[in-house]
C-alpha cells in the first residue's frame, strides 16, 4: 500500500466515527473521535499528546518543539461533526464513507475531519522522511466547533502559555475552485440577538377590538422595517462606526476574485441579487456589515384563518460586522434605535446571544505570503486572498489571547455540501493539501 493509500484508509476510519457534538446520545462517539486522533498523533511521533477535559467535549493537544530558532505554529481544527439528518437524503450512509469519482463521501469529510487529517498526515510524512519537523508545531483540536465552541474560549484563556505561538494555522475555509487556492484575509464579526414585542395580556379578537388596539406583529414589522433605508443601508445611528472605507486598492483586490452572478443566481434559485447600493456583491459580503432577519414569529401559524390580534411577536436578528465595529456598541445603538422607534403600546425586549469582532489579516505578512507560495507549487492558479462574509469567532480569540497571526489556509470547496446530505471531500485536495502543508513548513527551513 502506498503512503497515500494508508492516509486515505486512516481518514475513512476517522470518518466512520459519528462524533456529533450537538446530540448528547453521541457523547461517547465524540470522545472516541478524540481518542482516535490522539492515537494517530502518537503514531505520527508527536509529543505530549493529551486528551484535555473541558466542561464539554475534550480538546486534543499535542506538540513537537525542537527547533528553537524557528517559528511555532498552532494548528487548530475540529473533530466534531454536524448531525447527518435527514439520512435518507444521502446516496451512501453518512458514517460509512464511500469513494465515488475521486471524492470521499461522509459526514465531516470536508468539515473538518479531512482537513484536520491533512495536518496530522503532513506531520507524519515529514517525520517519516526526515525524523524531525522543520518548524515547531502544536495542535489544538476541539470537539465543539459545530455547537459554537462554548468551552474553547475559556480553554484558550486558561492555557495561554501552553498554546503560545507565532501563527495559528486553520484549514476550515473554502478555496475558490479546484485549481485556485485561497487564504482568507478577512472574516466578518457577528452580533446576534432576539427581539420580543409584546402589546397585550392575550391574543385579541380582530373583530371585537381590531382598529383600536396595538397589534404586536404590526409593531414588530414597523421596528424591523426601520432598520434599513431604501438603499439597503442599515438605518441605525452609529451602526457604521468603525467600518473601514472601501478603498480603491481593496476594490481592485476584490475584483480579482472570480464572481459569476448568473451561476450564483441559478445555484441559489434567486431571480435577483439584493444588497446595499454602491457595492458589488463580493464587497457586500466581504467588506460591508449587515443586519439580517433570521426568523420572525407571531400569532397564528396553522392552516386556514384565525382572526386574532397577536399579543407578542419575536424576531431573531443577526449582524455581520467589519473592521473595528464593536459588537457591544452596535448592540447598544440598536437598543437606542428600537426604543426611539417602537410605537405606542409596544413593550420591546432585546436579548443578546452572540458577539464577535471582525478579523482582518494583512495579506503581506510572511506567514500568509509563504502559505500562498506553498499552494502554488501544487495548484495551477495563483493563490487569492478573499474576504469572507462568515464569522469564526475563535480566530479573534486566538489573535487577542495569543498575539498570533491567523493563517486561514483552506482545502475545501463551497460545493462539497458542508452541513448537508452527501457531504464529500476531493481526495485530490487531501493529497495536495498534505504536500502543500509540508512545503509550507519547509519554506521556513530555508530562512
First to last CA, the chain: 35
Any contact of residue 318 with a copy of itself (CB under 8 A)? yes
8 Å CB contact between 187 and 406: no
8 Å CB contact between 309 and 204: yes
Which residues make Cβ contacts (< 8 Å) with residue 375, sequence separation at least 6? 181, 183, 383, 409, 436
How far apart CA 30 and CA 23 sit, in angstroms, is 10
Any contact of residue 293 with a copy of itself (CB under 8 A)? yes
99: β partners: 104
Judged by beta carbon, residue 162 or residue 218, the one nearer a copy of itself is 218
* Binders in 144-203 for a copy of itself, by CB under 8 A: 148, 188, 190, 192, 199-202
Judged by beta carbon, residue 163 or residue 317, the one nearer a copy of itself is 317
C-alpha cell at 114: 479531512
8 Å CB contact between 413 and 174: yes
How far apart CA 233 and CA 80 sit, in angstroms, is 37
Any contact of residue 298 with a copy of itself (CB under 8 A)? yes
Least Cβ distance, residue 367 to a copy of itself (angstroms):
24
Among 80-88, 105-113, 303-311, 399-407, which window interacts with a copy of itself (CB under 8 A)? Answer: 303-311
How far apart CA 352 and CA 380 sit, in angstroms, is 45
Any contact of residue 320 with a copy of itself (CB under 8 A)? yes
Site string for a copy of itself, 377-396 (x = CB under 8 A): -----------xxxx-----
How far apart CA 397 and CA 174 sit, in angstroms, is 21
Any contact of residue 207 with a copy of itself (CB under 8 A)? yes
Any contact of residue 442 with a copy of itself (CB under 8 A)? no
Any contact of residue 212 with a copy of itself (CB under 8 A)? yes
Instruction: Report how many residues bind a copy of itself under the rule CB under 8 A.
Output: 79
The pair phi, psi for residue 185, each rounded to 5°, is -115, 5
* Binders in 217-246 for a copy of itself, by CB under 8 A: 217-218, 220-222, 224-225, 228
Judged by beta carbon, residue 87 or residue 208, the one nearer a copy of itself is 208
Any contact of residue 263 with a copy of itself (CB under 8 A)? no
Least Cβ distance, residue 304 to a copy of itself (angstroms):
7
**Residue of the chain from 48, 231, 247, 294 that contacts a copy of itself (CB under 8 A):** 294
Least Cβ distance, residue 137 to a copy of itself (angstroms):
29
By three-state DSSP, how is residue 196 classified?
strand
Which residues make Cβ contacts (< 8 Å) with residue 229, sequence separation at least 6? 235
**Residue of the chain from 5, 88, 262, 274 that contacts a copy of itself (CB under 8 A):** 274
Amino acid at each position: 500500500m502506498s503512503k497515500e493509500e494508508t492516509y486515505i484508509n486512516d481518514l475513512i476510519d476517522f470518518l466512520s466515527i459519528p462524533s456529533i457534538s450537538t446530540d448528547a446520545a453521541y457523547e461517547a462517539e465524540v470522545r472516541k473521535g478524540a481518542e482516535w486522533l490522539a492515537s494517530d498523533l502518537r503514531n505520527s511521533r508527536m509529543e505530549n499528546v493529551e486528551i484535555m477535559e473541558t466542561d464539554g467535549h475534550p480538546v486534543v493537544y499535542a506538540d513537537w518543539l525542537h527547533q528553537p530558532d524557528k517559528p511555532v505554529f498552532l494548528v487548530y481544527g475540529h473533530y466534531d461533526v454536524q448531525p447527518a439528518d435527514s439520512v435518507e437524503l444521502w446516496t451512501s450512509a453518512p458514517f460509512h464513507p464511500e469513494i465515488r469519482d475521486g471524492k470521499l463521501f461522509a459526514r465531516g469529510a470536508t468539515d473538518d475531519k479531512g482537513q484536520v487529517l491533512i495536518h496530522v498526515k503532513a506531520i507524519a510524512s515529514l517525520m517519516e522522511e526526515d525524523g524531525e519537523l522543520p518548524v515547531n508545531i502544536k495542535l489544538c483540536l476541539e470537539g465543539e466547533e459545530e455547537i459554537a465552541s462554548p468551552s474553547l474560549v475559556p480553554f484558550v484563556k486558561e492555557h495561554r502559555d501552553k498554546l503560545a505561538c507565532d501563527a495559528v494555522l486553520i484549514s476550515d475555509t473554502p478555496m475558490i475552485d479546484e485549481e485556485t487556492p485561497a487564504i482568507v484575509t478577512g472574516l466578518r464579526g457577528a452580533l446576534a440577538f432576539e427581539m420580543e414585542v409584546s402589546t397585550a395580556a392575550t391574543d385579541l379578537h380582530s373583530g371585537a377590538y381590531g382598529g383600536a388596539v396595538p397589534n404586536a406583529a404590526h409593531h414588530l414589522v414597523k421596528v424591523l422595517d426601520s432598520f434599513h433605508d431604501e438603499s439597503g443601508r442599515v438605518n441605525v445611528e452609529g451602526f457604521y462606526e468603525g467600518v473601514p472605507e472601501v478603498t480603491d486598492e481593496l476594490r481592485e483586490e476584490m475584483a480579482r476574485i472570480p464572481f459569476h452572478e448568473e451561476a450564483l443566481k441559478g445555484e441559489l434559485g434567486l431571480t435577483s441579487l439584493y444588497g446595499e447600493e454602491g457595492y458589488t456583491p463580493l464587497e457586500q459580503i466581504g467588506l460591508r456589515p449587515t443586519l439580517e432577519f433570521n426568523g420572525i414569529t407571531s400569532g397564528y401559524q396553522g392552516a386556514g384563518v384565525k382572526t386574532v390580534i397577536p399579543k407578542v411577536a419575536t424576531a431573531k436578528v443577526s449582524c455581520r460586522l467589519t473592521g473595528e465595529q464593536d459588537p457591544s456598541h452596535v448592540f447598544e445603538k440598536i437598543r437606542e434605535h428600537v426604543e426611539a422607534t417602537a410605537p405606542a403600546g409596544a413593550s420591546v425586549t432585546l436579548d443578546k446571544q452572540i458577539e464577535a469582532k471582525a478579523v482582518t489579516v494583512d495579506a503581506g505578512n510572511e506567514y500568509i505570503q509563504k502559505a500562498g507560495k506553498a499552494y502554488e507549487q501544487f495548484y495551477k492558479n495563483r493563490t487569492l486572498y478573499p474576504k469572507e462574509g462568515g464569522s469564526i469567532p475563535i480566530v479573534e480569540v486566538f489573535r487577542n489571547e495569543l498575539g498570533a497571526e491567523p493563517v486561514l489556509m483552506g482545502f475545501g470547496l463551497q460545493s462539497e455540501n458542508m452541513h448537508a446530505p452527501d457531504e464529500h471531500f476531493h481526495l485530490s485536495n487531501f493529497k495536495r493539501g498534505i504536500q502543500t502543508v509540508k512545503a509550507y513548513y519547509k519554506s521556513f527551513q530555508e530562512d
